[in-house]
Amino acid sequence: MAAGKAQFRTERAHAKINVVLRILSREASGYHNIETLFQRLALHDVVTVRVGDMSRTLRCDGPTMPSAGLGPATENLAWRAAELYAREAGWETGWEISIDKQIPVGGGLGGGSADAAAVLRAMEDLSPVKLGHERLMALGGTLGADVPFFVSGASLAWAWGRGDRLLTLPALPSMSVLLVTFAQGVNTGAAYGALAEHRAASGRAHGAQAFQLSEFASWAALARIAMNDFEAVVPTLHEGVARVLPRLKALAQDSVRSDDADMPRLALMSGSGATCFLLAPDATSLQVPADWQVTFTCTT
């Protein structure tokens, strides 16, 4: 069976952090509208897709794989991405998908979405019939709010709606990033539910906010708008976040120096959690408690 330009394709599936994450209204379908600033990280999974006359299989391995695995292969976003692409392209091919997991699972870093986007890109490269970038972005949007960003290949992007509307922004100077991860993540549905209850109790409205492009033009400008709505409730759901996030924010504040105002330090939680991060010019040199599960990477 023909496999397009090649029989296999290997893609890097980069993680992300949310430097801004605002949760807006909920649609009748159950989806929430969001406003978010995605920043790509150097940390990545490695995804290899082989196509041809073979059975359809998915294999995940690597140091960040949970001991219980990732569940049924057919429910994995990477599998669903391959199935969706093949159906849209009218391409009845077999595939073998292999994922080397380096991104912590279930931590708000977008690993599953990044893998799905990598599969879409690989399938597009291998397919005898090309769908084109716009269609690929649209397919990504049906898989998850983060997937279009990963499909785009952008370093920095503002996203809104369900995350499928993207404004690609100029990349900023590389910053080192300290990630504090946990064995257990945060259930996204529970996080949204807790946030809804919190907002109902407060009675505050949460509409879209106007931002200027200048607010995305430097790390110093971003430090003034950086925020994550889920930080209001996730510490009540996750003991690790409750313990680590305040200490990480204090560390960021204590480490500020007057001679590096253009490259500030900021600490946030990514996505709906549970990963907390400190973004700084010198994150690798900062002293953190020995019992923290730490990964160092950088923006890219």
Catalytic residues: 16, 146
For 170, residues 6+ apart whose C-beta sits below 8 A from its C-beta are 156, 217
**Omega before 274 cis (within 30°)?**
yes
Amino acid at 261: A
Task: Provide the sign of the torsion angle of the four alpha carbons 285, 243, 62, 228, taken in this order.
Answer: negative
As given in the structure block, the two tokens for residue 101 are: 């997991």
| 162 within 8 A of 34, measured Cβ to Cβ | yes
Task: Please classify residue 71 by burial: count the beta carbons closer than 10 Å to its beta carbon, then call 0-12 exposed, 13-18 middle and 19+ buried.
Answer: exposed
As given in the structure block, the two tokens for residue 239 are: 């003991």
Placement of tokens 């109790």 in the chain: 201
CA distances to 8, 53, 107, 111, 154 from 96, in Å: 9, 10, 26, 19, 27
Tell me which long-range contacts 197-205 makes (C-beta under 8 A, separation of at least 24). 197/233, 198/232, 198/233
| Alpha carbons 187 and 107: distance in angstroms, whole number | 10
As given in the structure block, the two tokens for residue 178 are: 């300290």
The secondary structure of residue 299, as a DSSP letter, is B
Q: How many CB atoms lie within 10 A of CB 69?
A: 10
